[in-house]
Amino acid sequence: MPRPKKQDVRERALKVADILVREYPQAKTALKHRSALQLLVGTILAAQCTDDRVNMVTKTLFKKYKTAADFAKARQSVLEKEIHSTGFFRQKAKSIIESSKDIVQKFGGRVPDTMEELTSLRGVGRKTANVILGNYYGKPAYVVDTHVKRLSQRLGFTKSPNPDVIEQDVMKILPENLWRPFSDALIYHGRAVCVARKPKCRICVVASLCPSAVLD
């Protein structure tokens, strides 16, 4: 089977993005937040954990810790207990405390709004930064979580298993105004239809545009 030309991939990506963004108009982060700081903390906690569980934890957590300074002064052993149910609580507590210290010391207590500044925070990678940039600051951002990684590969938009490479590959073939809504739609589609073990290709609205679809 001949390798698709770059222009063909771009045209197909635009069609897929258009369909999925219309299919999931409600797609946005499910993490409840009222500030960039709350979204930062919620995103850190969401690693290997459901958004529902994180929202249950942060409902109480955000009443106690209201500012970056509050989190920066937290005792790690105490914070670990408070976020224990989200899993990987030791590393998550460390990341929250250290990134909060950086926010206080480097940015005057305000969560920065650029990729370079966000990823300079300890414990913050491109995925977390993109969640904040796209969902709070409204900037172009392509979030690569486990669903986006899987679907980007299945749809033939990348061959790489590396999230950072996937992000760059997809951003090259789509206009920036589609980056955030498309990645959000992929997350919803990955949860509902294009699941990991047995994708539901027969009911997939983009099956005809997917090189990995199995319709037998």
On whether the 36-135 domain is CATH 3.40.720.10, my answer is: no
CATH code of 6-28+142-209, in short, is 1.10.1670.10
CA distance 46 to 62: 15
H-type helices in the chain, by residue range? 6-23, 36-45, 51-64, 68-72, 76-82, 89-107, 115-118, 126-135, 146-154, 163-173, 176-192
What single-letter DSSP state applies at residue 201? G
Q: Which tokens in the block code for residue 212? A: 């990995």
The number of residues making up the chain comes to 216
pLDDT tens digits, the chain, 216 residues: what are they? 444 555 689 999 999 999 999 999 988 899 999 999 999 999 999 999 999 999 999 999 999 999 999 999 999 999 999 999 999 999 999 999 999 999 999 999 999 999 999 999 999 999 999 999 999 999 999 999 999 999 999 999 999 999 999 999 999 999 999 999 999 999 999 999 999 999 999 999 999 999 999 876
Domain segments of the chain as ranges: 6-28+142-209, 36-135
CA distance 157 to 151: 9
pTM of the model: 0.89
Give the residue from 95, 101, 70, 67 showing the smallest Cα distance to 83: 95
pLDDT digit string, tens, across residues 185-214: 999 999 999 999 999 999 999 999 999 998
